[in-house]
Amino acid sequence: MDVLAEMGRVVCFDKRGQGLSDPTLDTPGVEERSEDIRAVMDAAGLDRCVLMGVSEGGASCVRFAYDHPDRVQGLILLGSTASWVPRPDYPIGIPEQVLDAVPRNWRRAALRPVFFPSISTDMISDDTWRGAMNLMASEDSVQQLVEMMKETDVRPLLPEIEVPTLVVHFAGDLAVPVRMGRALADGFPNAEFFEAAGVDHSDLSQSPEAIERIRAFCARVTAA
């Protein structure tokens, strides 16, 4: 966040059911989450922005860029995908049973080797990890998130999005395999794809090269 803030003003918000945002009884889809982006931008007084979506947040950003192209200077998608589960024309997705296991393992350290295999217990203990997961979201909220992910498929929108787009993915990402990031980039008419060296999921602090690619992208699209 410190490095991103050197590039300009950064506005980051907790999505529905996560962090300090209230839990929800229903399961909001990408359309509702796209409108949440609009609401936050309005409240922050942002007419336009470089919009960055991480992991499951990427699809909501894609939807926002489709619905409100005039408010997006550039789109950055980090460790993300257009569709999570396999489909007849998309065999590279993550099996549903794998996603279904995420909520029950959320408060355990079992997911740690998947999300951040390079971070040892000497750096962050398992107790600290479990505490962070508790602060991030409840098991019920994660269950809602998984249900949304299984329904998500923004691939039909990608050819219609003309805003400058940068897709960044770590080569060894175990949570969202890099094949899904490549497919996401290929779906846009003119997206840049940067495959960063690393095994952690969406951890920019591990890749100065990815940060510099993002810095150059932001400078170019804001200047334009």
Per-residue pLDDT tens digits of the chain, which is 224 residues long: 889 999 999 999 999 889 999 988 888 899 999 999 999 999 999 999 999 999 999 999 999 999 999 999 999 999 999 999 999 999 999 999 999 999 999 988 889 999 999 988 998 899 999 999 999 999 999 999 999 999 999 999 999 999 999 999 999 999 999 999 999 999 999 999 999 999 999 889 889 999 999 999 999 999 98
What does the alpha-carbon distance between residue 47 and residue 191 come to, in Å, rounded to a whole number? 23
What does the alpha-carbon distance between residue 96 and residue 25 come to, in Å, rounded to a whole number? 22
What does the alpha-carbon distance between residue 171 and residue 199 come to, in Å, rounded to a whole number? 7
pLDDT for 47 equals 97
pLDDT for 103 equals 94
Question: Tokens at residue 176, please?
Answer: 């969202």
pLDDT for 102 equals 95
pLDDT for 107 equals 85
pLDDT for 62 equals 98
pLDDT for 131 equals 92
Question: Tokens at residue 163, please?
Answer: 């805003």
CATH number of 2-223: 3.40.50.1820
Count each helix (H run) and each strand (E run) in the chain, helices first: 10, 4
- Name the β-bridge partners of 137: 18
For residue 163, the one-letter residue type is V
pLDDT for 17 equals 87
